[in-house]
Homo-oligomer: A and B are copies of this chain.
């Protein structure tokens, strides 16, 4: 099977032919059409049955749209709020007010960096305690003013490091879980890229949990699982398959509510189209949860989390 790079090369060639077709008056349109058809077929063959590991690579693709890309396209008037009022301002988790169509919402959005410099500033998208506590402050604001809360999840995980531990990152995550379970406004979480363990869940407790088609969401990274379980980091593909961390598999397991389709090859192939699917889904779910009286909504959220997990009763065995 051809790989992504070969197909990109072919696409570039077709583009060159099209230029030739234009400038020199030579008619290549039949040939070009044929090539394009071929390309599309190859692409479908490549992407239609992505392995779980291929999805992991797409989820982590350096060109994948990040939170700020969606914020620009899906929302309007993003007004970022800074700081946890306690110790700092984390740049790997942004919070702010924004409008979804005309409706004001509170956004919690994990953000990776593109450049080395940006990644340094954003700790490669790994959230620190200051970020979780900023998110918690934004939740309180949302509650006071009845703004729905929308989380965009995209992190390899909570930032592991001495400073994080000194600021009780475990406690910060725990407090967020508790707060979100009881938050008195509608909440929607979308995993847009990497949903890395507790670092993702800390803004991911919600009335609706959605995933982009090639996003992943896992209790541990494939590399971490391979290291711990197989004692070989290189067995991450096996670990990936075992963890069932892709959107379609998690939908099958009924732990996410919906998979939002991406263009063939991944969100980065057409970020506008992805953004528009995301927006459609957010609007639909927001309308749904907003229609439910708060008391019922909270009861349903509680029931959702209370009943999470599968086990056998002794009598079943």
Shortest CB-to-CB span from A149 to chain B, Å, is: 22
User: Does A171 sit at the interface, judged by CB under 8 A?
Assistant: yes
Rounded to whole angstroms, the CA-CA distance of A168 and B87 in the bound complex is: 7
Q: How far is the CB of A135 from chain B (nearest CB, A)?
A: 15
Residues of B within 8 A of A166 (CB): 87
Whole-angstrom CA separation of A118 from B175 in the bound complex:
33
Contact B167 A87 (CB under 8 A): yes
Residues of A165-215 whose CB lies within 8 A of B: 166-168, 171, 175
Within A110-167, which residues are at the interface with B (CB < 8 Å)?
133, 166-167
Verify if A85 is at the interface (C-beta below 8 Å from B): yes
Contact present for B85 and A171 (CB under 8 Å): yes
CA distance A133 to B87 in the complex (A): 12
- Inter-chain contacts of A86 with B (CB < 8 A): 86-87, 133, 167-168, 171
Report the separation of the CA atoms of residues A38 and B86 in the bound assembly, to the nearest whole angstrom.
Answer: 59
Shortest Cβ gap from A45 to chain B (Å): 53
Chain B residues with Cβ below 8 Å from A87 are: 86-87, 166-168
Q: How far is the CA of A168 from the CA of B168 in the complex (A)?
A: 18
- Docked Cα-Cα span, A175 to B86, in Å, equals 11
The interface residues of chain B lying within 8 Å CB-to-CB of A167 are 86-87
A167 shortest CB reach to chain B, Å: 6
A166 to B171, CA, bound (A): 21
Q: In the docked arrangement, what's the CA distance between A142 and B167, Å?
A: 24
**What residues of chain B lie closer than 8 Å to A175, measured between beta carbons?**
85
Complex Cα–Cα for A162 and B167 (A): 18
- Quote the shortest CB–CB distance from A107 to chain B (angstroms): 23
Residues from chain B with Cβ under 8 Å of A85 in the complex: 168, 171, 175
A168 to B171, CA, bound (A): 20
Please give the distance in Å from A130's CB to the nearest CB on chain B: 10
Distance to closest chain B CB from A210 (angstroms): 32
A83 nearest in chain B by CB position: B168
Within 8 A of B (CB), among A32-86: 85-86
Given contact pairs A87-B87, A87-B167, a sample of 11 additional A-B residue pairs in the complex whose CB atoms are under 8 Å apart? A85-B168, A85-B171, A85-B175, A86-B86, A86-B87, A86-B133, A86-B167, A86-B168, A86-B171, A87-B166, A87-B168
A-B pairs, top 8 by smallest CB distance, nearest first, are A85-B171, A87-B167, A86-B86, A85-B168, A87-B87, A86-B168, A86-B167, A86-B87
